[in-house]
Structure 1
Amino acid sequence: MDKKQVGPLSGYRILDLTVMTAGPVGTVLLADLGADVIKVEEPKAGDLSRNLGNQFVEGESVQFLSQNRNKRSIRLDLKSPKGRDAFLRMAEHADVVVENFRPGTVDRLGIDYEAVKARNPMIVYASVSAFGQTGPYAAWPANDPIVQAVAGLMDMTGEAGGNPVRLGAPLPDFGAAALLAFGISAALLHRERHGEGQRIDTSLLSAALFSTIPRDGETLRSGKAPERLGSGHPTMVPYRNYQGSDGRYFFAACFTEKFWQNLCRALGRKDLLSDERFVGNPARTANRHALDVILEQQFLLHTAEYWVAHLSAADVPCAIVQDYHTALTQDPQIAHNHAVVEIEHPLAGRVTNIASPVNFHGSPVAYRRAPPTLGQHTAEVLAEFGFAEEEIAALEGREPAAVGEKS
């Protein structure tokens, strides 16, 4: 096989019990890198995201299609003794088990780490949950915005004097997904070096808190929670959205003295450099409202597009605030990065996905499989794990195929 067709994780077999977003996105990162990710789904409805949202293509949920490429799907009733035993038998020949059920669920099903480890001591068993496997919140029903509320993210988001606001994208979910994939990869490397498997876990809460760095230091040192500042920044000024004469917004970020000086020169306002209210970032932060009044009036003289071109030429970090559809379909840098890919689905036709965010130049990511239909690969996968046709038929609730027939 061509070396470039072998992903960094080719040869690793992952049993994926995850549903919704954090778990499936974490395993799609691993699948993109070549791991054989086998999505073990509840027989009737499958992954909860298969029926989530209000956009479907030929009965397939857009949400599910967005986060399950490069995987194979099997139906398996883990609540039945037969399904549990089949799963444990598969786990004997797997490298990784991943689950994101509410803590305690895998124990009740009899497929917890200790049960799997008894059959396969080298297993890497990974869990991702909302709050962690133990603790006062562990059993709470929760998802991304619930975690945003607990972690303080929601409270620090929104306009000054306004209400707390949910983040526009499920960042705790995706932070947990990245940490999950990172943890599994590190655990596999540890196994290669030291010959032992292990259990690992992460949570949306851990990911959310980790994403707030360096707000943690500022908050604990000051003894105060961050204020809601809209698009502004608690410790850097100017650093926010501004409106041009055409009503469009652009973001300008002067996070060093050099950029502040470049901004003043580009505006023809060298007087601001000697204004004691604005000399040094601490002074600008203390006098942000006075500075913003000056800048807001200045920026209303020209369009947002003019200012982005003018300030960029002066080496000031800035960008038009564009909507998400424009970003995905018209932005030249996103197009150059091939950040949106198309995959042919057996029912939905050509579907778009966000590409893997890491480029491996020696062993590039391959989009080998469309997101699977429910149970699409059940017979194929079980046969690979050594199940006889009669056993596969029993697990699928059908009669065994006659000799020469395909199941």
Structure 2
Amino acid sequence: MSDGLQTLPLSGLRVLDFAQFLAGPVAAMRLSDLGAEVIKIERPQGGDLCRSMVVNDQMLEGDSLVFHTFNRGKKSVAADLKDAGDLEAVKRLIKTADVLIHNFRPGVMERIGLGYETVKGLNPRLVYAGVSGYGTEGPWVKKPGQDLLVQSLSGIAWLNGNAADGPVPTGFAMLDVATAGNLVQGILACLLRRGTTGQGGLVEVDLMTTAVDLTFEQFTCFLNDNNRQPVRHEVGNANPYQPAPYGIYKTANGYMAFAMTPLKVVADLLDTPAIAEFGQDKAFSHLNEIKKIVADVFATQPTQHWLDILEPAGIWCAPVLNWVDFVKTEGFKAAKLVQTLTSEGGAKALTTKCPIRIDGSAPMASAVGPKLGQDTEAVFAEVAASAEA
């Protein structure tokens, strides 16, 4: 709860999170942020593999810090799905759930005995949500669905960087997080439909489809340009389909971003009449020549010098900040983007907060991720009691 928020929108919903690593658990995390009870179903031996995925040697009470980041506030049930007794207990739990999320490779849940058709028979109201790397059909189905690999296969890595660079992936798991967002949208849509029909549904998302969807603007240009590969700009590339001066440029003491601006305005503000000679209709066909002039000018003065000229003129521009500088800004402080997680033992960790505001307030989760199997006995006892009632 935060700032007087009494009832979160998904309070009363039960979500079973069978997923590991990122996309599935992040989707479950967002549902938890919005009030759902989320129960992780984990292997008794080691649990979610992300528990041991140590990043930069950062741990919290025996588990990877990143595990706690996107499993905050969840419960944990340890169950061996190959064990008949545990599987039967999980099936009873499924009967009480509203949503099930998994990211096993296609066919695995069916072999376990928890495929969609089977589970639908157990609980027709359940929204069954699956995440995969490449969908459920085609020659890539069995490929590992990992963010960097899909960025590479989908062409995204060839959109980033300047013309002379090799492929440049994003520095974070962009597709995992975006796929999680797609999954949450599909789940919420099916829950809304269930309110009318009483029936659950099947939601399926994959990293490859997300990659194409994220690049829909550029990919649409490509499809309608005889499938010609877009050419990255020689300098300041930020979008191969945007004309000059759009891009990032080096200044005398850093970097700055310069967005869409008419060339005549650029020429006047930067005192570069050579740019005006090109004419606005040449902003794309001569973009490398124009951007080279802009780059040479920006390199002569510090970033703030140019901001003082451009911002009062209403130009879309910004300094390029690293995280050390970003967290010092008043904009960052005013946005209140960070929350503190606290374990039962008192260990604390800072992490990001839910980006969604409900009734004017952002939901806040104060609990770290669960210890492996900490809720197994209580959850299964509750389900057994309700089955006998």
Number of residue pairs matched by the alignment: 380
Provide runs of 4+ in structure 1 moved above 3 Å: 228-232, 260-265, 271-274
1:101·1:129 contact (CA, 8 Å) conserved in 2?
Answer: yes
- Correspondences of 1:167-316 after superposition (within 5 Å): 167-222=170-225, 223-229=227-233, 231-236=237-242, 237-246=244-253, 248-254=254-260, 257=262, 260-269=263-272, 271=273, 274-275=276-277, 277-280=278-281, 283-316=282-315
Provide Cα deviations, 1:274-307, integer angstroms capped at 9, x if missing partner: 41x2323xx1111112212221222123201222
Aligned AA (2:153): V
1:6·1:363 contact (CA, 8 Å) conserved in 2?
Answer: no
* Structure 1 position 100 matched with structure 2 position 103: yes
Provide Cα deviations, 1:16-66, integer angstroms capped at 9, x if missing partner: 101000111111111100011111111111111111134223422022122
* Structure 1 position 333 matched with structure 2 position 337: no
The alignment partner of 2:219 has SS state of helix
Instruction: Provide the C-alpha distance between the structure 2 equivalents of 1:305 and 1:376, rounded to a whole number of angstroms.
Output: 53
2:339·2:364 contact (CA, 8 Å) conserved in 1?
Answer: no
Provide Cα deviations, 1:171-228, integer angstroms capped at 9, x if missing partner: 1111100001111011100100122111110001111110002112211122212223
The alignment partner of 2:5 has SS state of helix
Distance 1:308 1:79, change over 3 A: farther
Instruction: Provide the C-alpha distance between the structure 2 equivalents of 1:264 and 1:385, rounded to a whole number of angstroms.
Output: 71
1:251·1:318 contact (CA, 8 Å) conserved in 2?
Answer: yes
Instruction: Provide the C-alpha distance between the structure 2 equivalents of 1:115 and 1:89, rounded to a whole number of angstroms.
Output: 13
Distance 1:206 1:312, change over 3 A: same
Instruction: Provide the C-alpha distance between the structure 2 equivalents of 1:217 and 1:348, rounded to a whole number of angstroms.
Output: 51
The residue number in structure 2 matching 1:380 is: 378
**Once the 2 structures are TM-superposed, how far is the Cα of residue 126 of structure 1 from its aligned partner?**
0.4
Residue number among 65, 72, 76 corresponding to 1:69 in the alignment:
72
2:75·2:374 contact (CA, 8 Å) conserved in 1?
Answer: yes
Provide Cα deviations, 1:236-257, integer angstroms capped at 9, x if missing partner: 22111111112x1111111x54
For structure 1, list consecutive stretches of 5 or more residues without a partner in the other structure.
Answer: 389-407
**Once the 2 structures are TM-superposed, how far is the Cα of residue 273 of structure 1 from its aligned partner?**
6.8
**Once the 2 structures are TM-superposed, how far is the Cα of residue 364 of structure 1 from its aligned partner?**
4.3
2:338·2:352 contact (CA, 8 Å) conserved in 1?
Answer: yes
**Once the 2 structures are TM-superposed, how far is the Cα of residue 263 of structure 1 from its aligned partner?**
3.6
Instruction: Provide the C-alpha distance between the structure 1 equivalents of 2:84 and 2:22, rounded to a whole number of angstroms.
Output: 28
* CA RMSD after TM alignment: 2.2
The residue number in structure 1 matching 2:5 is: 4
The residue number in structure 2 matching 1:143 is: 146
Distance 1:158 1:384, change over 3 A: same
The residue number in structure 1 matching 2:166 is: 163
Instruction: Provide the C-alpha distance between the structure 1 equivalents of 2:37 and 2:95, rounded to a whole number of angstroms.
Output: 15
Residue number among 342, 345, 361 corresponding to 1:344 in the alignment:
342
Distance 1:38 1:243, change over 3 A: same
Aligned AA (2:21): M
Instruction: Provide the C-alpha distance between the structure 1 equivalents of 2:360 and 2:159, rounded to a whole number of angstroms.
Output: 42
**Once the 2 structures are TM-superposed, how far is the Cα of residue 153 of structure 1 from its aligned partner?**
0.7
**Once the 2 structures are TM-superposed, how far is the Cα of residue 362 of structure 1 from its aligned partner?**
5.4
Aligned AA (1:372): P
Instruction: Provide the C-alpha distance between the structure 1 equivalents of 2:89 and 2:264, rounded to a whole number of angstroms.
Output: 67
Instruction: Provide the C-alpha distance between the structure 2 equivalents of 1:138 and 1:38, rounded to a whole number of angstroms.
Output: 28
Distance 1:364 1:383, change over 3 A: farther
1:272·1:278 contact (CA, 8 Å) conserved in 2?
Answer: no
Instruction: Provide the C-alpha distance between the structure 1 equivalents of 2:25 and 2:355, rounded to a whole number of angstroms.
Output: 15
Instruction: Provide the C-alpha distance between the structure 1 equivalents of 2:144 and 2:230, rounded to a whole number of angstroms.
Output: 27
Length-normalised TM-score, structure 2: 0.91
Provide Cα deviations, 1:324-356, integer angstroms capped at 9, x if missing partner: 3433x3232222111111111235711111111
Length-normalised TM-score, structure 1: 0.87
Instruction: Provide the C-alpha distance between the structure 2 equivalents of 1:203 and 1:65, rounded to a whole number of angstroms.
Output: 24
1:245·1:300 contact (CA, 8 Å) conserved in 2?
Answer: yes
**Once the 2 structures are TM-superposed, how far is the Cα of residue 371 of structure 1 from its aligned partner?**
1.6
Instruction: Provide the C-alpha distance between the structure 1 equivalents of 2:324 and 2:49, rounded to a whole number of angstroms.
Output: 26
The residue number in structure 2 matching 1:322 is: 321
For structure 2, list consecutive stretches of 5 or more residues without a partner in the other structure.
Answer: none
Instruction: Provide the C-alpha distance between the structure 1 equivalents of 2:297 and 2:361, rounded to a whole number of angstroms.
Output: 50
1:159·1:228 contact (CA, 8 Å) conserved in 2?
Answer: yes
